[in-house]
Amino acid sequence: ERDSHRQEVRMNILGLNYIFHDTSACVVADGELVVAIEEERLTRKKHTQTFPYASIKACLKQARLTLADIDHIAVSVQPEKQLTEKFSYAARLNGSARSFIAYEFDRPEARHIAFWAWFHESWPSRERAPQVHFIEHHVAHAAGSYYVSPWKKAALLSIDGWGEWTTTWLGAAIDCEIRTIKESVFPHSLGLFYSAATEFCGFKPNYDEGKTMGLAPTGDAERFYRDVDSMVEVTR
């Protein structure tokens, strides 16, 4: 059903990805995606994970806005989501838990500290500061497509390595309301399976998946079909 669902409220939203690889920023103004830039395009550091200072500055310039014009900030992660599951998993790792804790807890915490330092420097006065929204990672993926689309009703699917702990997310949207239907969680991840295939091909996982994707159409799908089919099980 095609029908514009955008509200008439005038609003400038700054979207940020600073937790995951390929940090980036975007601006959505009055329901229209104005600009989106990955930090690596400006710093020339491939798949950079540094806070997107340059992207933010470039997006505001392209959108002809200042920090004072921003009404809301949307961050593509919800820090509190599924923490119990993460702690439970770490407890079962025994001796190898240290690297997991560093990646899933220490690393995000350092990046949140960088974000809030930038935020308080940018808006010293709380009265004029924009509202910050931490959005579930997969919901952010879905919302990034749905809210700037012309569709009133949509089926939504997000497949990733993982977000907070969710790896595949199925949802639906009607009249701007997004709801979750079903989720798959770590370690059952099609994205991580893709990373394993990338490493098998001799590339760097969580980095060179684009090369695997680019080469896939040139290969012979039958060669490893049976082996791969035995590794993946689709359940309802």
Catalytic residue list: 21
The torsion angle over the Cα atoms of residues 202, 204, 206 and 209, rounded to 10 degrees, is -50
- Is there a contact between 114 and 18 (Cβ–Cβ < 8 Å)? yes
As beta bridge partners, residue 198 has none
Sheet strands side by side (includes 12-17) = 32-38, 24-29, 12-17, 72-75, 131-134
Letter for the amino acid at 203?
F
> Rounded CA gap, 113 and 101, in Å?
17
Token reading at 180: 């979750």
